Chain A
Amino acid sequence: MKMPLCSALALLAFASAAHARPIGYAGGQMLMLDASDDLQQLSVTHAPSFRYAFAAGHLRASELAGADDTLSSTYLRAAILAKRWNLPRAQANVFFWGGLGSARYASADGSRHIGAQVDYETRRIYTSLVSELHEGSGFSYRFDTAAVGIAPYEHDMERMASWIVLKAKHTSNARDTSLKPEIAWRMFTAKWWLDAGIDADGKPSINLMFNY
């Protein structure tokens, strides 16, 4: 029973990483940190091209469903931009990714995951749908996130962006399969990105990214 739980948490971590785009700019690296009450994750992404990227990361999840155990997982992932539409005042994208991970928990096991993201954004509106499927021996989970963001003003390269982002999350086959709402304050410049969120249970979370 523990293995599906840890896999679900690994899945949550991966899905959290996918809230932003899985590919940075061509030739650049992106450092990402996720932190919440029971989950911490650090990953590095390198994008040789704007069309594809490779990532390596490590996550740590504690207090799984009341257990004192801690999950540690290291993973490798590849992502591709399947399609991009560059419009005069908007951009839309379709991303796919997949990866392999090793998990250390009650018993060691590996897992594989695939994901997809569709997004559309202007400088005032952001929408995205993310779905990620994790499978391993004896478990299969899908994590879905829908997000809508609104910017009170239009940012520019030298003016910090500020967004309010509403998210609805759902995990199939997990212990709790209810739809979970979350609200986040998103701020970013050309170099860094911060999502500071809080879920319906009042639990805070942050997602910090740095381009270099």
Chain B
Amino acid sequence: MNNSRAWILVAVIVLVTAALRFLPFLIFGGNRKVPRIIDKLGRVLPAAIMGMLVVFCLKDVTVGSYSGWVPAFVGCVAVGVSYVWKRNTLISILLGTLAYMLLVQLVF
């Protein structure tokens, strides 16, 4: 993609992100009460979106050949096991990425 197009997309992301951050303060800046459905979405949406993003990241996985799924599977297991064990985001990310990179570069 050429560079001017990249800048346009970045501008869109900047605007939407800032709008999302400012909107609550603009709408509920007075003493207006937060509606219950918004309140509920605030509690349940984050978990669902994270689930969706994990699936989004794994969308290129295929089951036809070992190289299509083994690296991602091993990477995810490394992240999962280390995270449940240590609860340290950084350690898990490094371990999982390292395992994945080694597998795609050296084994498959």
Q: Do A and B come from the same complex?
A: no
